[in-house]
Amino acid sequence: MLNLNAPREWLRGGVIVAFAFIVGAAAAARADDLQDAQQLFKSGHAQQALERVNRALAANPREPQARFLKGLIFTEQGKQQEALDIFAKLTQDYPNLPEPYNNLAVIYAGQGQYDKARAALEQSIRTHPSYATAYENLGDVYAKLASQAYGKALQLDSSNAGAQNKLSLVRELVREPTPKPVAAAPVAKEPPAQVAAVAPKAPEKPAADATTEVMQAVNGWAQAWSKQDVDGYLGYYAKDFQTPGGEARDAWEKTRRTRISGAKSIQVGIDSPNVTMHSPEQASVSFRQTYRSDKLNTKSRKTLELVKLDGRWLIREEKAGK
């Protein structure tokens, strides 16, 4: 049963697992790269994980696990089309794997293409009838399609009390935070002629990557906003944040609390981000922001000016239309 008391991530991925078997010296090197990439990705270092994945793919371009992980990294970075292309190609090359279909559905749903999301999830279930994640996601997509149908019925007949009641129930059932696949289940490996177990390699401690840290802060800010976690959202702003129009900080925070808490649902997306490092402690991030709520849907360009204070990247200024 869905948790109706808190925002939830309504389309889900599977679970990352470690690689247990590899073949030969070359395969061992690829497995090490993939293990490192998984650890880096799980710890929030997406760009460094991508470098390791690309190294594994240079040795074996058809490696399905590396391709799948690359799709997840692109999804995390907001490169939805690149991720979609990877998952779609995986469904062609490995049509019996359920996970690529599931993650295709996540992207389609995020784009509002619910019929495509439904078709992908149904195919995922056909390949793996006991895939619980796909069933849950399919239920949520059906609920969204039902919401659209009831809404259309009310447009045609605003006095239809039955449709109004059903629409209210469906909207309570499915809240709409940003769909985000956060993990991958194992996908099929190339069939080995001779299999040998290899002890896992301890992941290296990644070097600090300022660009990655900046994007982690921006993504965290957007996620807190989407979850309507007002305290978490406001925590991403520096004490000397330049409020729009020079408004007093207390008044600005009060207005933000009212608007965020007053919405039934909020979904904030970050597309095509571009990070510019001005110094080790100052950065700018420009991106296209998508905002959806029960009251407003908008798309706009935005630039955030960030400063690193006490080890955290915080927003000092927001600029619209830059």
pLDDT of residue 207: 32
In terms of CATH architecture, what is 210-320?
Roll (3.10)
Q: Determine the Cα–Cα distance for residues 154 and 12; give it in Å rounded to an integer.
A: 31
pLDDT of residue 157: 86
Does the pTM surpass 0.85? The reply is: no
Task: Provide block-wise average pLDDT over 10 residues at a time, the chain (322 residues).
Answer: 33 40 42 82 87 90 89 88 92 90 89 90 90 86 85 85 79 52 46 35 46 91 92 93 88 91 91 90 92 86 93 92 60
pLDDT of residue 46: 85
pLDDT of residue 11: 60
pLDDT of residue 195: 33
pLDDT of residue 3: 29
Q: At the fourth CATH level, which superfamily is domain 21-197? A: Tetratricopeptide repeat domain (1.25.40.10)
Sign of CA dihedral 281, 286, 288, 290: positive
Residue 268 CB partners (closer than 8 Å, separation 6+): 178, 222, 223, 225, 226, 289, 290, 291, 292
Domain ranges of the chain: 21-197, 210-320
